[in-house]
Structure 1
Amino acid sequence: MVEDINKIPSTSLPGTADLAWASFPCQDLSLAGNGAGLKGERSGTFWGFIKLIQELRLQNRKPSMIVLENVYGTLTSHEGKDFEAIAKSVAGEGYNFGAIVMDAVQFVPQSRPRVFIICIDENLNIPNDVFCKRATPAW
């Protein structure tokens, strides 16, 4: 299905997904963009995605995990208020989350920082040995 996220009813989504991934448009969050942030028409499509997650939660069908991917400006847009809005939205749907920044060169032939916000249902029990420990720099 190819459709505007704001027009997709949750009832058209089958079953319960383990993972939902959203890479919503970055232009309004980008440091080179227009500065509209999540209020912008393009980057504001995040709200259509979170609306679907809210509806799925009400139907007891929310995904166990969500990953949100976007530009570094997601963290800094409107002095961090846009990231705070994303954080409050996913936390309000019952997810624990964290953000990491990785260079896209690990995946595609261009080097630029990308933000990944990883959200896990707060009711999931994740064993401690699953988590990696931060490596100590050699310098």
Structure 2
Amino acid sequence: MFDHVKFGVSDFAASKAFYLQALAPLGVVLVGEGPPSYGVELCAQGQNSSLCLFQSEEKPAHLHLAFSAATRQQVDAFHRAALAAGGRDNGPPGLRPHYHANYYAAFVIGPDGHNIEAVCHAPAPADKA
């Protein structure tokens, strides 16, 4: 978990739109905005951790952001939304047992080449017979 992560992006408008659309299935909304040089703050409703983006001419280094998902369905929805927002697939939704038995995640590459992940650590719900 994190309090906030802030990083520069090369195309502020494109990145803002990408993260808002891709993270909407996880309950993430815009909670603050200033000029592009200051940026935006995105936060999941009811949470204190935030993601902050700002316009930068510097080339950012590789970054991996993993967002918590409460359910596997949220991971699936994140992946669909991120691809629809212009992300590139970097690993479809599914179990990653090499991390642990219940690690269910999906990965996309965002507008600046960052590896963006949504992960659910909960076991699959029991089948209802």
TM class by shorter chain equals 0.3 to 0.5
Larger Rg over CA atoms: 1
Structure of higher RCO (CA pairs closer than 8 Å, 6+ residues apart): 2
Q: Flag the structure with higher helix content.
A: 1
Question: Normalising by the residue count of structure 1, what TM-score does the alignment of the two structures yield?
Answer: 0.34
